[in-house]
Structure 1
Amino acid sequence: MEEKCLCEPTEILIFPCSGGSNVGQIANQAGVKLTQDGMGRFFCLAGIGAHVSGMVESTKAGKMLVAIDGCPVACAKKTLEHAGFNIDEYVQVTDLEIEKNHDLNPLTPDVEKVAQYLSTQISKRRAVL
């Protein structure tokens, strides 16, 4: 078992919610897609909430923090803010006209919609990093 954080600092860190609803899973899958598309690096929100020192330090070194929440409960946003971080780019899945339900198998078009929205926002900000 690895006892230390294997996270390396990177410019753009992506912190998705992975809550127990379709929109939480959409947020999570959008974070995966953004990472696979080279828009940033998926990071561990739970590690921030647990104050894991290596993860907190890697997050401090990031130049842009992206939070993706599924719903108005805003767990990702609140976790990052509670740890003292400022969020540079934020989206709530339900704000993109995706209705919350308890189906844990997110629809691909919904994941694409969130990922595309954030990809556009990140690209705009990335130009000034």
Structure 2
Amino acid sequence: MDEKRCTCGTMDVRVVACSGGSNVGQIANDAAIQLAKEKVASFFCLAGVGGYIEGMVKSARDAGLMIAIDGCSVQCAAKTLQHQDIEPAIQIVVTELGVEKSPDLDPDEKACSLVVEKVKDELVA
């Protein structure tokens, strides 16, 4: 992973998330939304990167710091970025935080908060 940079000032921090068909995919997505609402990072369109939309790929490459939140060990968000030679500075995998994957699409609020706090911790580490 690239070295993390300070997020103070005008740093352009972007977050992409898995939004897969499981609880952990939805937790990843909800955590990214929460980070955007709290103005920790701008929520960026992973589908545009995966769809090879030239302007979106360029914007992703130009980000000051990219965060990928994946639901599980398959790591679709990080791998989508990596296919475009974009290495996330921070990658969080929800299942690595002790959340069990299930087909239930209702994200757990506590788990979402755990992911948000983990991202914030990584940003200041």
- Normalising by structure 2, we get a TM-score of 0.88
What's the offset of the Cα at 1:107?
1.1
* Alignment partners' CA distance in 2, 1:11 and 1:31: 15
Give CA deviations for 1:62-113 in whole Å, capped at 9, x if unaligned: 1101000000111001100011101100010000000000110111111101
What's the offset of the Cα at 1:120?
1.6
- Give, as a single letter, the amino acid of the residue that structure 2 aligns with 1:26: I
* Alignment partners' CA distance in 2, 1:106 and 1:87: 24
Q: How many residues align?
A: 115
Aligned to 1:102: 103
* Alignment partners' CA distance in 2, 1:103 and 1:115: 20
Aligned to 2:89: 88
Aligned to 2:57: 56
Which runs of structure 2 are paired with 1:72-87 in the superposition (5 Å)? 72-87=73-88
Identity of aligned residues (%): 40
**Cα-Cα RMSD:** 1.1
- Normalising by structure 1, we get a TM-score of 0.86
* Structure 1 gap ranges (5+): 1-9
Aligned to 1:113: 114
* Alignment partners' CA distance in 1, 2:58 and 2:75: 23
What's the offset of the Cα at 1:47?
0.5
